[in-house]
Amino acid sequence: MNYASLEACLIDLEKHGHLVRVKEEVDPFLEMAAIHLRVHEAGGPALLFENVKGTKYRAASNIFGTLDRSKFIFRKTFHAVQQLIQLKNNPVEAIKHPIKNFNNGLAALKALPLKNPFNKPVLYEEIKITDLPLIQHWKNDGGAFVTLPQVYSEDVDKPGIMNANLGMYRIQLTGNNYELNEEVGLHYQLHRGIGVHQTKANKKGLPLKVSCFAGGPPSHTLAAVMPLPEGISEATFAGVLGGRRFRYCYKDGYCVSTDADFVITGEVLPNDNKPEGPFGDHLGYYSLQHDFPVMKIHKVYAKKNAIWPFTVVGRPPQEDTSFGALIHELAGNAIPQEIPGLKEVNAVDAAGVHPLLIAIGSERYTPYNQTKQPAELLTIANHVLGTGQLSLAKFLFITADETNQLTTHHIQQYFEFVLERIDWKRDVHFYTNTTIDTLDYSGTSLNSGSKVVFAAYGKKQRELCREVPSLIKELGNAALCMPGVVAISNFKFQISNLQEQLSSVISQLSSVAMIVLCDDANFTAATLNNFLWVSFTRCNPSHDIYGVDEFIENKHWGCKGPLIIDASIKPHHAPVLEKDAATEKKIDRLFEKGGSLYGVI
């Protein structure tokens, strides 16, 4: 069904067994987040907290906690949106089959936002920041944050909703040096539309007017994370996906989503920054305290019986994983159509999304050559690393498969295919001193680090070992992560000594493709997800990749033996997120007999 509000969605979820009400009083300081994490980890239902300590408002989480539940929410419009995206990629199809695509045209009419609707429920009352559920998610967070915001800004050169940006950028409500009820922190990363808007406003010496919407129809939340092409308003996408036009008005010069549950309005002044964070983020580490823009509060609005939506991020998979999966199903082959020769790309969630991309492309440049080696793949890789948020990738593995049987969604199979074929002497390509994801602390400073492309194509170079070779066992605690990949910890030597030792027995290492140096080999090798998380979130390629018998020839780096990734935790890395034991014990009451969540998981 098409929802006019967040509450309508929650009622529908409850009716179909997808939601549980938590009636006991819960503390927004750590408790609510801990409850959410436990339920999400078990694949449990959405949660409606009816008694939040310190506020009159209810709160809801885990709404999009599984892909199936997310698709259920958008079940009435999902197929139509998929078809519209496909028509954009192939407009000739619409011309050839106008009757077949007539319904898609009707669905597209919902894209036009509706200004000044008769009903404006969000303007029911003015409140303060301290009236909100001030949820702190992790013990060392800097304060309370908004984690499902829809942050709205307009282009000062082209004002109006059709050129606006609606993005999900976390908002810090309390803590640090913010003046309570007067200021909040606005954190946004590289390649975000709001950055373009602030840059333009700063050049003109103007404040940037910003509105933060929370709640409203669930299509508004998804629209805020949808990677739309620049120049397409997320409000139009929200209307199509929700089957209901995005309703808005202007109040004191600020855009207000009239269907939202809450709206925070304010200004961002040029060069007005304050320390924001720390915040437990989606790579599984704290993003540390850094200066980010301050939003000076104008007014805060709430609808009658408003509900505060939130999520909790941490080491993946979390609820935001479902967003990624849903976006992938909606967008289909949109990105491959944008990049010639690209067949598939997967931003690997288990590695925190941006640290690791794996891709499949075409290799058509030199079919006349008997020796197969990457050529077109390198062109595609450069295109990928120059495209939108894909450009934040730190590791990019790319290969070609002429049988069309390989997929990026069977990750271990993909890695085995690549590691069997990669030639470490030829196929490693570094990008040094460049930008990386703001949340990735493996680099040299905020937003700064390096990238590497591994492009593999051709005949098998090696058969991958299925157990740890005995000579590697002698070097420390060693464990097999997957065929061809060995993790080592508790090693008492410098990396140069390791390289020297292995160089002397290089002929016996032909079945080992990669060695991962880490803090706990058994943990790293215990699951595929552990291997992906440890290896690719804790490594700065230019500083932390080595090789057995490595060399530099005409400024090209390569190695004759296994590649070595130093994925040990370094002093400059951000702390790992850890659950608070006292809070975990405290929330047990809800899951015991008589508690609201007894038997739910």
Residues 6+ apart with CB under 8 A from 153: 164, 165, 193, 194, 197, 198, 208, 209, 210, 211
| DSSP one-letter string for 505-552 | TGGGGTT--EEEE-S-HHHHHHSHHHHHHHHHHS--HHHHEEETTEEE
The CATH number assigned to the domain holding 418 equals: 3.40.1670.10
67 and 121 together in one domain: yes
Alpha carbons 537 and 117: distance in angstroms, whole number: 47
- Does residue 212 share a domain with residue 138? yes
Residue 126 and residue 297: Cα distance in Å, rounded?
Answer: 12
CATH code assigned at 130: 2.30.110.10
**pLDDT tens-place string over residues 283-293:** 999 999 999 99
Q: Which of 256, 284, 310 is the last residue of a domain?
A: 310
Q: Is residue 584 part of a domain?
A: no
**Same domain, yes or no: 400 and 420:** yes
Looking at the structure, tell me whether residues 289 and 219 fall in a common domain: yes
Ramachandran quadrant class, 583 (left: phi over 0; alpha: psi -120 to 50; beta: rest):
alpha
Mean pLDDT of 389-397: 91
Closest Cα partner for 5 from 216, 154, 170, 192?
A: 216
Q: Which residues contact 458 (CB under 8 A, 6 or more apart)?
A: 371, 372, 373, 421, 423
Are residue 225 and residue 374 in the same domain, yes or no?
A: no
Is residue 572, in this structure, part of any structural domain at all?
Answer: no
Contact 503, 548 (CB under 8 A): yes
Q: Does residue 193 have a pLDDT over 70?
A: yes
Q: Does 15 fall in a domain?
A: yes
CB-CB contact of 517 with 535 (8 Å): no
Band of residue 97 on the pLDDT scale cut at 50, 70, 90: very low
Share of the chain above pLDDT 70, in %: 93
What confidence score (pLDDT) does residue 92 get? 38
Q: What is the pLDDT of residues 266-286, one digit of tens each?
A: 999 998 999 999 999 999 999
- Residue 483: CB partners within 8 Å, gap ≥ 6? 416, 419, 464, 465, 466
Return the DSSP state at 38: H
Rounded to an integer, what distance in angstroms lies between the CA atom of residue 549 and that of residue 570? Answer: 24
- The per-residue pLDDT for 373 is 84
| pLDDT at residue 90 tops 50 | no
- Report how far residue 494's alpha carbon sits from residue 348's, in angstroms, rounded to the nearest whole number: 31
**Looking up tokens 């493996």, which residue turns up?**
442
Determine what percent of the chain is predicted with pLDDT higher than 90.
74
Task: Give me the number of domains the chain comprises.
Answer: 3
- Point out the least confidently predicted range of 9-23, 91-105, 111-125, 162-176: 91-105
Residue 100 inside a domain? The answer is no
- Listed residues 421, 456, 491: the one ending a domain: 456
Q: What is the span of the domain harbouring residue 423? A: 319-456
522 and 412, same structural domain?
Answer: no
Type of residue at 378: L
**Residue 190: burial class (beta carbons within 10 Å; 0-12, 13-18, 19+):** middle
Residue 229's pLDDT band (boundaries 50, 70, 90)?
low
* Joined tokens for residue 351: 């590695």
Asked if the model's pLDDT at residue 398 lies above 70, the reply is: yes
The reply to whether 162 and 228 lie within a common domain is: yes
pLDDT at 98: 39
- Based on the fold, state whether residues 179 and 299 are members of the same structural domain: yes
Question: Which residues, including other chains, have CB under 8 Å from residue 370's CB and lie 6 or more apart?
Answer: none
Q: Are 346 and 277 contained in the same domain?
A: no
Cα–Cα distance measured from residue 386 to residue 379, given in angstroms and rounded to the nearest whole number: 11
Report the candidate in 492, 484, 500 with the shortest Cα–Cα distance to residue 547.
Answer: 500
Question: Which residues 6+ apart lie within 8 Å of 488 measured at CB?
Answer: 472, 475, 476, 477, 478, 515, 516, 517, 518, 521
206 in a domain, yes or no?
yes
pLDDT at 101 exceeding the cut of 60 = no
Query: How many Å apart are CA 96 and CA 268, to the nearest integer?
Result: 48
pLDDT, one tens digit per residue, over 459-496 is: 999 999 999 999 898 888 999 999 999 999 987 678 88
Within a domain: 465: no
Phi, psi (rounded to 5 degrees) for 302: -145, 145
- At 324 the pLDDT is 85
The reply to whether 354 falls in a domain is: yes
Q: Shortest CA distance to 305 belongs to which of 60, 134, 117, 72?
A: 60
**Using 50, 70 and 90 to split pLDDT, how confident is the model at 39?**
very high
Residues 358 and 437 in one domain: yes
**Is 503 within a domain?**
yes
My answer on whether 357 and 234 are in the same domain is no
Residue 435 has pLDDT above 70, yes or no: yes
Same domain, 482 and 381: no
Look at strands 395-400 and 356-361 and give their pairing.
parallel
- Share the mean pLDDT of the chain: 91
Longest dimension (CA), the chain: 79
> How does pLDDT run across 142-174, given as a tens digit for each residue?
999 999 999 999 999 999 999 999 999 999 999
